[in-house]
Amino acid sequence: MSDRTELLTVGGGCFWCTEAVFSDLRGVTSVLPGYSGGRGVDPSYEDVCTGRTGHAEVVQIAFDPGEISLHDLLSIFFTVHDPTTKDRQGNDVGPQYRSVIFYRSPEQKATAEQVIREVGAERIWRRPIVTEVTPFAAFYPAEEYHRDYFRRNPERAYCQMIIAPKVAKFRHKFADRLRGSDPGGRAQSASTAK
């Protein structure tokens, strides 16, 4: 991690979906799925799926704040999942699928609370936001087979029916923020794209 890199840990349902979305953003240097917010060290996917560990499926996002701000990342976070359903995202039900932001500093907490107020005032969602804003304690990386899941498993039914439409909607809405596009939203040629 460089001096310019910051970390953000968020949960917004299945980590396969959130990893696929945030990995596309310019300024994001890595996205790692894992578990946070519960009891027990190094939980397994099977343990977390029981809903009894208290851990949420999360992604740990490393980003360059010179290219994308924490405020912008959190604003995007609130558009790519439903922050109004407690312990649920679509058919995924349980505390492991809760909407949560694990803040690492008073500044991250203040930014999270500010973005929640802004999203609430914009009335993007009809119901109140129930996203937890809680101190970061630990992050446990998910098993290797969860990493880069959408890219490695595009033929799987869950990827085709759930993740692909979400990613397509995200790419359309945030075209100007994607890798390979300039800030004006135009795709760069292969010779100029990094």
Catalytic pick among 14, 17, 49, 159: 14
Q: Which long-range contacts (CB under 8 A, 24 or more apart) does 88-95 make?
A: 89/12, 89/13, 89/14, 89/17, 90/13, 90/162, 92/13, 92/14, 94/49, 94/51, 95/51, 95/54, 95/56
Question: Does the annotation count 159 as an active-site position?
Answer: no
Tokens of 27: 């300024």
How do strand 99-103 and strand 132-135 relate by DSSP bridges? parallel
Q: Active-site positions?
A: 14
